[in-house]
Amino acid sequence: MTTPLLIRFVAEARELLQLASSGLLALEKNPGDEAVVNNVFRSVHTLKGSSGLFEFVALTKLVHAGEDVLSAVRAGQLSLTSELVDLLLDALDRIGAWIDDIEHKGRLSDGADGVSRDMTAALRGWLPALPDASGPAQEAPRRAAAVEILDVDWLARIDEAARLEAFRACAQGHALLAIEYVPVEDCFFSGEDPVNLMRQIPALHGLLLEGTEPWPDLDTLDPYRCALRLRAISAAPQTSVEELFRYVIEQVAITPVAAHQLAVLAGEADDNPVYEDFVEEARDLSAKGDWSGLKNRTQALLNLTGSTLFAASALRWLDALLDVPAPDPSQVAVLIAAVIDGEAPPLPAPASTVVSASGRQERTAVEAGATVKSQSFPSSANPASHLSPIGREILEAQRFILESLLKPEMFPGQIGSIRRTVANVISGVMEKADCAAWSAACDASEAAGTGTAALAELNRILGSGAEVGAEVGATEIAQADASATVHDQRQAPARILKVDQAKIDTLMNLIGEMVVSKNTLPFLARRAENVHGSREMAREIKDIYAVIDRLSQEMQAAIMAVRMLPVSEVLDRFPRLVRDVARKLGKRVELVIEGEDTAADKNIVEVLSDPLLHIVRNSLDHGIETPEQREAAGKNPDSILIIRAFQEGDQVVIEVQDDGCGIDPAKIRAAAVAKGLMDAERAARLSDQEAINLVFAAGFSTAASVSDLSGRGVGMDVVVTTVEKAGGSVALNSVKGVGTTVRISLPLSMAVTRVMMVEAGGGMLFGIPMEHIAETVRIPRSRVKKIKQSESFVLRDTIVPLLRLDALLGVPQPLWFGDADQEEAVLVVKINGALTGLVVDHFREGMDIILKPFDGILSGIGGYAGTALLGDGRVLLVLNLKELV
Amino acid sequence: MPISFGKNSIVLEGECTVEEALPLLEHLQSHPKSKVCMKGCVLAHSAVLQVLIAARPVYSSLPEEEFMRRWLVPALKGAQ
């Protein structure tokens, strides 16, 4: 789980799944409820949409199938039966398990592609048949059905060397898979390259490339209509093959192959007396079980035999078969016979397996089949059976009954019941020959009146199942493991708690109150010392204060962290927006976003959204030129728009920087005069930066025409107002012809405000937001100069106007008796970019406060930002200097 | 261009992409006697292979790349 998008997807998917399943349950009770149908459909539809963002093909396909079914239900083409609901719920559970996998491992569990294909086919099976049978909904189940009936006759057409290789791989314990891939005709247009997809099959042991139909005349051949059929043998696990074909899984059939199916003999017949000697000797050795001796003889004869001969083919297979320490005697026997018979049954298939006849040896296939039936060989170690764990348990129970419980008087009834039970379990799972063998063994047992024959056969079935099932069953086991882990993980899934913002705000307020009440402790300590004369008490209170102070600070930080969001919340939509707007305007813009994980308080991030939109639109519309203009100006036709977010002190800063035409101060001056904002003389006196800052003035727009993007004159002034309301500031920097940078600074959090307390009006306390304060100075009264009614003083060669806070607040001013040495406490503040001196009575300490804006009837009073409670219970009025001055 | 057409020969070299299928087919249609040299071909798109399988031209050389030599040559030669 790396990307935040994925984390959000997981959370959202869980919610949607929950909605869908509860909706489905409601629907089962009341199938006619359209609103619920719509809800369920919408949930699944949304899930499909968002899953498409990721590489979870199996999941998306399954959700898509579910969506199609629900869509049919919604359209009234399909009624929602309990079976269908079961199927849908199963699918939802499966998806839920995958979502858990995604959360924990970042990917789907192994085998997901196969599971998805099966479930998808099952779901699509419910869809009503459309008149147009070529639709994808029809295609999928048809192809999926091919999996079961996959015919593997074509194996014989793979060259013998490859088959021998596969056979040896199988003997070493690798299960073999036959893969048949018939790409859709237009697959070249969707970028598929079927042959080179086959190239990637791991452990490939054979590949056939054929046309699906006879090739047409070269003149009528359409090179871009795929008419290929691809078949392969692989010794790789089924899951990895499915993974490889995940995009075309519905066009692929995969089936396990038993090794003996590969052993199709071919070659020229000849008659050589040597064979007879060999066969005699070989039978002898084989009867003794001297496999290595037999192998030596086989190889010796093989060297003497022409490689194209049928006998050589038989010998090669015999050689391969003898690679295993304990080969199957019946298979050995058939191969030995094949050496001398020349045209003998080429199929060393043991009794347990169905003999598949290759086209070339049709004549002998019938005989081979007959042999199999009549002889009932002891089965090979490889009957390609895969018992389910439950089936195995049932069979073992039957074996137990046969072994111990069988009483002579009850025998006829019991053997019948055992016979039926076992037959039910193995039919369909095992090869037909196995079923036949079981039935024969039961016949024998019934005739003999003892369970011995049946028991022996059952042992064989169970024993062989154990060996063979291993590889094939590995998938099942893996799945069982996976579901087990899924189950474990479900015990403690990482949950995201969605909380109403108001609750967090309440917490925030409460912690604020606590910080304030904590501040009463130092007062209390002082009181204990001064009033009650207990120093020790005072010290203890201070100790406790230190602890509570630390805890409350940590708590405050923790609650603030809850509210912190990365600015990417806002920035995420810009790539799309910039692309669309740039296209519309015919401009070429490359957007670069930096520092998107910079975090800030939720409110701040939300405040950023609209101003940023204005600024980016402005840049695209007015700042960045068309490619032609840019080329004419000698710039790269692709412009670069950078949105950069970073933290600077306790401020979060967002810069939007373009390399466009910049703002021309001369134009701004002219526009200001034309709009009557100021006279020409004053406009001429403005510095370039001041002129540029005029774009922040209300009702100012220099764009020649009003476009639908920007330029209606409600641009930058709205930006400034919004940002300032949130306690931030906007700065604009522009160089004509080079580009423009707009910089928005906002406090990281609006929750805590740092203020400096000052005393004015004869002992009243006021708070002044720290961000306005430039410095504090004390100047002698003699340095205060009066210019008409206004006072001012010189601070480092700059004339700074001087205002008295008492006067601003309407408090009577203390009298002054002309002592020129008396100093004034002057707070130098920066308001709207200009320095102003504010005369106060005394400076007091700075502190962090939780600012509470006025509400009720007080909210109309100007000049105040709000109030805060002080530690000693007094109310601190915080001034809004911009309104006041 | 991974495919070059001579008077009586077609040489496939390197990686032949899907775009090559049509020119190859057209050349085979107009010059059916052309001999195909695939010695240097290491990767051919299915569409290219399909044209070759359908056309069954005479090969002056076969691909030497492992996968193609092992599994695709029988199909190209139409041995099956």
Q: Do residues A766 and A732 both lie within one domain?
A: no
Q: Do residues A160 and A129 both lie within one domain?
A: no
The Cα-based distances of B67 to A199, A264, A757, B15, B73 in angstroms read 7, 24, 82, 13, 9
Q: How many domains does chain A have?
A: 7
In sequence order, what are the residues at sequence separation of 6 or more whose Cβ sits closer than 8 angstroms to the Cβ of residue A412?
Answer: A446
Q: Do B72 and A207 touch (CB under 8 A)?
A: yes
Q: Do residues A698 and A577 both lie within one domain?
A: yes
- Structure tokens that stand for A714 in this block: 């409600």
Distance from CA of A209 to the nearest CA of B (A): 6
Give the C-alpha separation, A525 to A24, whole Å: 65
Question: Do the Cβ atoms of B57 and B76 come closer than 8 Å?
Answer: no
Q: What is the pLDDT of residue A369?
A: 39
Q: Judge whether A268 lies within some domain.
A: no
Q: Do A223 and B67 touch (CB under 8 A)?
A: no
Q: Do residues A594 and A714 both lie within one domain?
A: yes
Q: Where are the domains of chain B?
A: 3-77
Q: Do residues A718 and A619 both lie within one domain?
A: yes
Q: Judge whether A497 lies within some domain.
A: no
The Cα-based distances of A244 to A56, A237, A467 in angstroms read 13, 11, 27
Q: What is the pLDDT of residue A816?
A: 66
In sequence order, what are the residues at sequence separation of 6 or more whose Cβ sits closer than 8 angstroms to the Cβ of residue A510?
Answer: none
Identify the bridge partners of residue A254 per DSSP, sorted by sequence position. A179
Q: Judge whether A380 lies within some domain.
A: no
Q: What is the pLDDT of residue A408?
A: 61
> Residues of B at the A interface (Cβ-Cβ below 8 Å)?
18, 21-22, 24-25, 28-29, 32, 43-47, 49-51, 53-55, 67, 70-72, 74-75, 80
Give the C-alpha separation, A311 to A314, whole Å: 5
Sign of the dihedral through C-alpha A380, A386, A389, A394: negative
Q: Do A218 and B25 touch (CB under 8 A)?
A: yes
Q: Is A841 helix (H, G, I), strand (E, B) or coil?
A: coil
Nearest in space to B63 (alpha carbons), one of B54, B74, B55? B74
| CATH code, domain carrying A54 | 1.20.120.160
Q: What is the pLDDT of residue A121?
A: 86
Give the C-alpha separation, A772 to A884, whole Å: 13
Q: Please name the helix (run of DSSP H) or strand (run of DSSP E) that holds residue B79, with its range, or none.
A: none
How many Å from the N-terminal Cα to the C-terminal Cα in chain B?
31
pLDDT means per 10 residues, chain A with 885 residues, are: 75 85 79 81 84 82 87 80 83 88 82 84 77 40 41 76 82 82 85 85 84 82 86 85 82 81 76 78 81 82 79 81 75 78 55 38 38 38 52 73 63 71 67 71 72 74 52 47 47 67 82 78 85 86 89 84 82 79 83 86 81 84 85 87 84 87 82 78 82 73 46 63 80 85 81 79 84 86 82 86 84 70 83 84 79 75 80 80 77
Residues, chain B: 80
Question: Do the Cβ atoms of A379 and A352 come closer than 8 Å?
Answer: yes
Q: Do residues A596 and A549 both lie within one domain?
A: no
Q: Do B18 and A193 touch (CB under 8 A)?
A: yes
- The Cβ-side half-sphere exposure at A718, using a 13 Å CA radius, reads 18
Give the C-alpha separation, B43 to B49, whole Å: 10
Name the residue with tokens 């298979």. A331
Q: Do B54 and A224 touch (CB under 8 A)?
A: no
Q: Where are the alpha helices (DSSP H) in A199-328?
A: 238-244, 273-288, 291-304, 310-321
Question: Do the Cβ atoms of A870 and A765 come closer than 8 Å?
Answer: yes
DSSP β-ladder status, A176-181 and B58-61: unpaired
Give the C-alpha separation, A423 to A70, whole Å: 39
For residue B77, the chain A residues in CB contact (below 8 A) are none
Q: Do A210 and B80 touch (CB under 8 A)?
A: yes
- The Cβ-side half-sphere exposure at A176, using a 13 Å CA radius, reads 27
Nearest in space to A463 (alpha carbons), one of A392, A538, A539, A527? A392
Q: Judge whether A239 lies within some domain.
A: yes
Q: Is any Cβ of chain B less than 8 angstroms from the Cβ of A873?
A: no
Q: Do residues A541 and A656 both lie within one domain?
A: no
Q: Judge whether A272 lies within some domain.
A: no
Q: Do residues A728 and A588 both lie within one domain?
A: yes
For residue B75, the chain A residues in CB contact (below 8 A) are 208-210
Measured from the Cβ of residue A81, the count of other Cβ atoms closer than 10 Å reads: 12
- Select from A126, A143, A160 the last residue of a domain: A143
Q: What is the pLDDT of residue A363?
A: 37
Name the residue with tokens 């099942």. A476
Q: Do residues A582 and A698 both lie within one domain?
A: yes
For residue B29, the chain A residues in CB contact (below 8 A) are 218-219
Q: What is the ipTM of this complex?
A: 0.89
Q: Do residues A723 and A577 both lie within one domain?
A: yes
Q: What is the pLDDT of residue A432?
A: 63
Q: Do residues A90 and A31 both lie within one domain?
A: yes
Q: Judge whether A271 lies within some domain.
A: no
Q: Do B43 and A196 touch (CB under 8 A)?
A: yes
Give the C-alpha separation, A315 to A167, whole Å: 14
Find the domain containing A511 and state its range.
Answer: 502-560
Q: What is the pLDDT of residue A705?
A: 42
Name the residue with tokens 């006196």. A685
Q: Of A159 and B45, which is predicted with more confidence? A: B45
- Select from A560, A585, A600 the last residue of a domain: A560
Question: Do the Cβ atoms of A869 and A861 come closer than 8 Å?
Answer: no
DSSP β-ladder status, A773-780 and A764-769: unpaired
Question: Do the Cβ atoms of A60 and A52 come closer than 8 Å?
Answer: yes
Q: Do B75 and A204 touch (CB under 8 A)?
A: no
Give the C-alpha separation, A394 to A518, whole Å: 72
Q: Do residues A398 and A312 both lie within one domain?
A: no
